[in-house]
């Protein structure tokens, strides 16, 4: 009879430091995807408020289609599609790294949610604020930058925190194209131990994600409380 326990503290103390070695991969993909996803979301939001009905339609199609696309499918599409494009252009397959394909796919996948967050925040700002900008003849770009944007930013912080937490968890899917993040490292530990440390490895991953999520929640809550006066 196998007396090996499914989980022990010794296993956790051994595995967690190993997983933390790959934490920079998870954090790097998260940060890069966050910046690019926000940029794409901002463009989509701007198009939704465009005077052109065609641009508004394109923005709606973009957000609707991507919100319905599974992220794992997007990662595979960007990875294999990108390789095919490089091959068709007779460019080296390693010209674009696997990590870059992962970042591009996650950024595109999260961008419609950022766009909806920004649109909702914009609409939540008191209409009187926008009318005051016009009535006082304040240049529109100054009014947006100094009045509308700060208020919309505070309104959006709770949703932003939730999206950032989801983004961190999304990075776990990059292992399907061979990128070894903390989840991928846990899988390797499980495989190398012939599954003996499988439960401990995956619980260790959950603990690390939980800690990251608590940090994000704490920071966003602090920022929201600190600047709440802007909405008063």
3-state secondary structure the chain: CCCCCCCCHHHHHHHHHHHHCCHHHHHHHHHHHHHHHHHHHHHHHHHHCCCCHHHHHHHHHHHHHHHCCCHHHHHHHHHHHHHHHHHHCCCCHHHCCHHHHHHHHHHHHHHHHHHHHHHHHHHHCCHHHHHHHHHCCCCHHHHHHHHHHHHHHHHHHHHHHHHHHHHHHHHHHHHHHCCCCHHHHHHHHHHHCCCCCHHHHHHHHHHHHHHHHHHHHHHHHHHHHHCHHHHC
Over its length of 232 residues, how does the chain's per-residue pLDDT go in tens digits? 455 566 677 888 889 999 999 999 999 999 999 999 999 998 998 888 878 899 999 999 999 999 999 999 999 999 999 999 988 888 887 788 999 999 999 999 999 999 999 888 888 777 777 777 778 777 767 777 777 777 777 888 888 999 999 999 999 999 999 999 999 999 998 888 777 688 888 999 999 999 999 999 999 988 888 877 656 6
How far is it, in rounded angstroms, from Cα 134 to Cα 143? 9
φ, ψ at 54 (rounded to 5°): -65, -45
Q: Cα torsion at 75, 81, 83, 85 (round to 10°)?
A: -150
CA-to-CA distance for 80 and 141, rounded, in angstroms? 42
- CA 44/CA 61 separation, integer angstroms: 10
Q: Assess contact for 86 and 93: CB atoms under 8 A.
A: yes
Report the pLDDT value the prediction gives residue 167, as an integer from 0 to 100: 95
Contact yes or no for 176/187 (Cβ under 8 A):
no
Residue with tokens 């939704």: 48
Q: Provide the residue count of the chain.
A: 232
pLDDT of residue 46: 84
- Cα–Cα distance between 153 and 151 in angstroms, integer? 5
Give the whole-angstrom CA distance, residue 45 versus residue 149: 13
């Amino acid at each position: 009879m196998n007396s090996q326990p499914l989980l022990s503290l010794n296993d956790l103390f051994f595995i967690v430091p190993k997983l933390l070695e790959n934490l920079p991969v998870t954090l790097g993909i998260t940060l890069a995807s966050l910046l690019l996803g926000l940029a794409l979301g901002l463009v989509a939001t701007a198009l939704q408020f465009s005077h052109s009905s065609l641009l508004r339609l394109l923005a709606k199609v973009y957000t609707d289609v991507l919100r319905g696309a599974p992220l794992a499918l997007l990662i595979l599409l960007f990875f294999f599609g990108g390789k095919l494009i490089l091959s068709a252009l007779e460019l080296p397959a390693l010209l674009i790294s696997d990590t870059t394909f992962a970042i591009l796919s996650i950024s595109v996948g999260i961008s419609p949610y950022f766009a909806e967050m920004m649109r909702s925040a914009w609409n939540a700002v008191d209409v009187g604020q926008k009318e005051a900008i016009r009535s006082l003849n304040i240049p529109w770009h100054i009014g947006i930058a100094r009045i509308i944007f700060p208020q919309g930013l505070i309104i959006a912080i709770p949703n932003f925190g939730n999206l950032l937490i989801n983004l961190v968890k999304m990075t776990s899917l990059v292992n399907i194209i061979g990128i070894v993040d903390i989840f991928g490292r846990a899988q390797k530990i499980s495989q190398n131990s012939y599954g003996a440390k499988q439960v401990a490895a995956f619980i260790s991953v959950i603990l690390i994600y939980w800690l990251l999520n608590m940090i994000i929640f704490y920071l966003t809550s602090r920022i929201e409380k600190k600047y709440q006066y802007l909405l008063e």
